[in-house]
Amino acid sequence: MSAPTPISTGHEGTVRDQFRSYIQRVRGGDMGSLPAILALVVLAALFASLSPYFLTTGNIANLFVQASELTVLACALVFVLLLAEIDLSAGVTAGSGMAVFQVLFGVLGWNWIVALLLALAAGAVIGAVIGFFVSRIGVPSFVVTLGLFLGLQGFMLLLLGDGGIYRLEQPELKAIMNSNMPVWAGWAMLAIAVFGSFGLGLSDRMRRTKVGLPTRPFIMLIFKVAAIAILGGLVVLLLSVNRGQALLAIEGVPIVIPIVLIILVVGTFVLDRTVFGRYIYAVGGNPEAARRAGIKVAQIRLYAFIICSTLAVVSGLLHASRIGSIESTAGRTIVLEGVAAAVVGGVSLFGGRGRLAYAAVGALVISIIDNGLGLIGLPAGANFLITGGVLVAAATIDALSRRRSGVSIMRT
């Protein structure tokens, strides 16, 4: 009864075959963050030619630090965007978490670690409230989170008082965005990344071989690891050069970078390799099919909102660390940039498609526009116009690629 040749698994063939099938997928509308990466290269080249400061090591370090806050927020939003939901309150959730921190730490004088953990817990509670209304009652997330967007602004004002601005004094927290790791730690981080991805690739190959499945050409794994080593090495090298004045050395990878990388790696692991992650994609792709497969759809939605709001508080911490203060008006506008970053990076607003890495690429694009336009001295108005234009372009690519892959036709 069995067919003579087994059905392909996508791992067969030479490097050339693999490359060809990748091109085919891209032409079929599965572009991922390719447009965003191209935009990143074009923008970098453009700003480098317009401003002599753009490619200085100081500015590159600055760019990464600026982007980190947005990256974490965009990653948070990916969890709900994958379900075709939205969280408009993520920015003020971030602010509210820090307001809770300020009350516990600044006013009540609690230990800063405890206060920080409770601030994250406050985020989780906000996420649970959103998740409850969306998944159990069926209120559209747009409306629930719009309500919370307003409500949490009031919450922050009540906690911190009108126009309240408090300095963030804790040195460990200020250091996150304003200090750098020793140079050796940057290289150690790179080594962990390189060996980690190589080890994971190897163990995946061994598992496939053990089961009796074909594996991709080994050289492709080498390519992948080499790409991480070279690109990562370049960044670490640039950040290891002294970018300060003669007397005071500023060198090393900013502390925030490994924090963002850990969030990216752990989040990607959850989405790609756990049952929970698989269910997020399934619910985002077709909730009815997920329900019939026995997935507890409401529960998945609830958890996604909890993850989103908790991670949002982390981005709030990064923001407070960078500006050195906690404000009662924090986070009102950044959420839209967060959504923009995710969409620009290739996360679909229609649900079911996207990865955390896309959100990170998108956040870099948005940040590079901000950074570059500031350097060449264009007015702030131009910044908004260009960022808005990029967002509409990205959403258009998303809608068109959906049409090409036939999804929008099938789903009525």
Partner 1 sequence: MGTPLIELTNVIKNFGPVDVLKGVNFTVEEGKVTALVGDNGAGKSTLIKGLSGVQPFDGGKVMFRGEEVNVRSPRQASAMGIEVVYQDLALCENLDIVQNMFLGREEKFGGTLDEAAMEFAAQKALQSLSVRTVKSVRQKVSSLSGGQRQTVAIARSVLRNAKMVILDEPTAALGVAQTEQVLNLVRRLADNGIAVLIISHNLADVFEVADNVSVLYLGQMVAHLKVKNTNRDEVVAYITGSKSMTGVA
CB 135 within 8 A of CB 297: yes
224 is an interface residue for partner 1 by CB under 8 A: no
- Kindly write out the interface string for residues 21-60 of this chain, putting x where it contacts partner 1 by CB under 8 A and - elsewhere: -------x-x------------------------------
Counting every residue, how long is the chain? 412
* Cα–Cα distance for residue pair 97/91, rounded to 1 Å: 10
352 is an interface residue for partner 1 by CB under 8 A: yes
CB 100 within 8 A of CB 118: yes
Q: Which stretch binds partner 1 (CB under 8 A): 39-47, 102-110, 117-125, 346-354?
A: 346-354
16 is an interface residue for partner 1 by CB under 8 A: no
Q: Which residues of 305-317 are buried (b: 16+ CB within 10 A; e: fewer)?
A: bbbbbbbbbbbbb
Q: Which two tokens stand for residue 143?
A: 């409306």
Give the residue, chosen from 7, 137, 246, 247, that forms a contact with partner 1 under the rule CB under 8 A. 7
110 is an interface residue for partner 1 by CB under 8 A: no
Q: Which is nearer to partner 1, 120 or 282 (CB)?
A: 282
Q: Which is nearer to partner 1, 61 or 295 (CB)?
A: 295
185 is an interface residue for partner 1 by CB under 8 A: no
Kindly tell me the burial class for residue 152, based on how many C-beta atoms sit within 10 Å of its own C-beta (0-12, 13-18, 19 or more): buried
In sequence order, which residues have a C-beta less than 8 Å from that of residue 185 and are 6 or more positions away?
252, 253
For the bound state, the minimum distance from the C-beta of residue 204 to partner 1, rounded and expressed in Å, comes to: 8
* Cα–Cα distance for residue pair 283/271, rounded to 1 Å: 13
292 is an interface residue for partner 1 by CB under 8 A: yes
Q: Which stretch binds partner 1 (CB under 8 A): 138-146, 181-189, 211-219, 379-387?
A: 211-219
DSSP string, 49-90: HH-TTTTSHHHHHHHHHHHHHHHHHHHHHHHHHTTT---TTH
Q: Which is nearer to partner 1, 301 or 353 (CB)?
A: 353
- Kindly write out the interface string for residues 299-338 of this chain, putting x where it contacts partner 1 by CB under 8 A and - elsewhere: ----------------------------------------
353 is an interface residue for partner 1 by CB under 8 A: yes
Taking CA atoms, 306 is separated from 92, 98, 121, in Å, by: 15, 17, 10
Q: Which stretch binds partner 1 (CB under 8 A): 67-75, 151-159, 322-330, 402-410?
A: 402-410
For the bound state, the minimum distance from the C-beta of residue 294 to partner 1, rounded and expressed in Å, comes to: 4
Give the residue, chosen from 111, 274, 333, 396, that forms a contact with partner 1 under the rule CB under 8 A. 274
Element (H, E) at 345: helix 334-345
For the bound state, the minimum distance from the C-beta of residue 356 to partner 1, rounded and expressed in Å, comes to: 16
Q: Which is nearer to partner 1, 254 or 351 (CB)?
A: 351
DSSP string, 118-171: HHHHHHHHHHHHHHIIIIII---HHHHHHHHHHHHHHHHHHHH-TT-EEE---H
Q: Which is nearer to partner 1, 110 or 281 (CB)?
A: 281
Give the residue, chosen from 53, 110, 132, 281, that forms a contact with partner 1 under the rule CB under 8 A. 281
* Cα–Cα distance for residue pair 55/10, rounded to 1 Å: 40
* Cα–Cα distance for residue pair 128/284, rounded to 1 Å: 19
297 is an interface residue for partner 1 by CB under 8 A: no
Give the residue, chosen from 109, 212, 379, 381, that forms a contact with partner 1 under the rule CB under 8 A. 212
* Cα–Cα distance for residue pair 348/309, rounded to 1 Å: 19
Q: Which is nearer to partner 1, 93 or 197 (CB)?
A: 197
For the bound state, the minimum distance from the C-beta of residue 295 to partner 1, rounded and expressed in Å, comes to: 6
Q: For tokens 């269910």, name the residue.
A: 279
13 is an interface residue for partner 1 by CB under 8 A: no
208 is an interface residue for partner 1 by CB under 8 A: yes
DSSP string, 283-327: HHH-HHHHHHTT--HHHHHHHHHHHHHHHHHHHHHHHHHHHTEEE
9 is an interface residue for partner 1 by CB under 8 A: yes
Site residues for partner 1 per CB under 8 A: 1-3, 6-10, 28, 30, 204, 207-208, 210-213, 273-275, 278, 281-282, 284-286, 288-290, 292-295, 351-353, 405-407, 410-411
